[in-house]
Amino acid sequence: GESVGLHLPTLSVQEGDNSIINCAYSNSASDYFIWYKQESGKGPQFIIDIRSNMDKRQGQRVTVLLNKTVKHLSLQIAATQPGDSAVYFCAEKDWGGGNKLTFGTGTQLKVEL
Amino acid sequence: KAGVTQTPRYLIKTRGQQVTLSCSPISGHRSVSWYQQTPGQGLQFLFEYFSETQRNKGNFPGRFSGRQFSNSRSEMNVSTLELGDSALYLCASSTGLAGFQETQYFGPGTRLLVL
């Protein structure tokens, strides 16, 4: 069935380093991808999105890369800060699913001082 | 603009009871989606409502139902609660008008514990 999965359940980085969080998806019909950040006790917070006709999109300190050939998505966080510590989810939609988001399993990012 | 609000934030129920959760979307948003988050299953889509009509449905039993009011506020109901229904229930809102490639914004969730 359809699934979106993350390679690494936990990622530990030093403050100031760059972080890379990866995500694999299996639904070839996926057309839209989103990264969410979820802090303890809060709902997922939108970080950045990318449409399938793009390979790369940049935001403030974040970059999302999409490789449709191998169905892989990554989130790069530059100069990681303690406030970046959270669980990060990738999610995808396909054109036939309306607003239904299919989420990956999540990666815990821990920023060490 | 105020964000998505959910009430109550915490709830304790016993098996067999029913529960109703409420979600108020961002002003102007007409689409409300509900998700269940558990450690074992992660985030799973329950259903989406747009203009008082269910527009999408996930793979959950009929004990899970929802509705949307004319002011776009939405409620979800779970009847005959089971221990496995213990979860964080999240709702997300969007305009519902920009097609599938539109951003959804999540509320803080309602933490339900079934004893």
Q: Name the E strands within A15-112.
A: 19-25, 30-38, 45-51, 56-58, 62-67, 72-77, 86-94, 102-103, 107-112
Mean pLDDT of B40-66: 94
pLDDT for residue B66 is more than 80 = yes
Tell me how far apart the alpha carbons of residues A48 and A4 are, in angstroms, rounded to a whole number. 17
The alpha-carbon gap from A107 to the nearest alpha carbon of chain B, in Å, equals 12
- Summarised one tens digit per residue, pLDDT across range A46-60 is 999 999 999 999 999
CB contact under 8 A, A100 and B45: yes
Least confident of A94-98, B6-10, B105-109: A94-98
Name the closest residue on chain B to residue A103, using Cα atoms: B43
Tell me phi and psi for residue A97, to 5 degrees. Answer: -100, 5
Mean pLDDT of the B12-30 span: 97
Interface test with A, best of B4, B101, B110 (most A CBs within 10 A): B101
Q: What is the pLDDT of residue B1?
A: 67
Q: Ramachandran region of residue B79, left (φ > 0), alpha (ψ -120 to 50) or beta?
A: beta
Do residue B100 and residue A104 have CB atoms under 8 angstroms apart?
Answer: no
Q: What is the pLDDT of residue A8?
A: 47
Q: Roughly how many angstroms between the first and final C-alpha of chain B, as a whole number?
A: 37
User: Minimal Cα–Cα distance from A94 to chain B, Å?
Assistant: 7
The arithmetic mean of pLDDT across residues B3-15, rounded, is 97
Of A105, A91, A78, nearest to A35 by C-alpha is A91
The string of pLDDT tens digits covering residues B51-62 is 999 988 999 999
Which residues, given as ranges, of chain A have pLDDT below 70?
Answer: 1-8, 97
For residue B97, give the DSSP letter.
-
Of residues B102 and B57, more confidently modeled: B57
Chain A to chain B, count of Cβ pairs less than 8 Å apart? 71
Is the pLDDT assigned to residue B34 strictly greater than 70?
yes
Q: Which residues of B touch A (CB under 8 A)?
A: 4, 31, 33, 35, 42-45, 48, 50, 55-56, 58, 90, 92, 94, 96, 100-109
Count of alpha carbons within 13 Å of A4, Cβ hemisphere only? 30
Closest CA to B7 of B75, B78, B87, B53: B75
Phi, psi of A45, deg, nearest 5: -115, 130
Three-class SS state of A47: strand
Q: Which residues of B touch A104 (CB under 8 A)?
A: 42
| Total count of residues recorded for chain B | 115
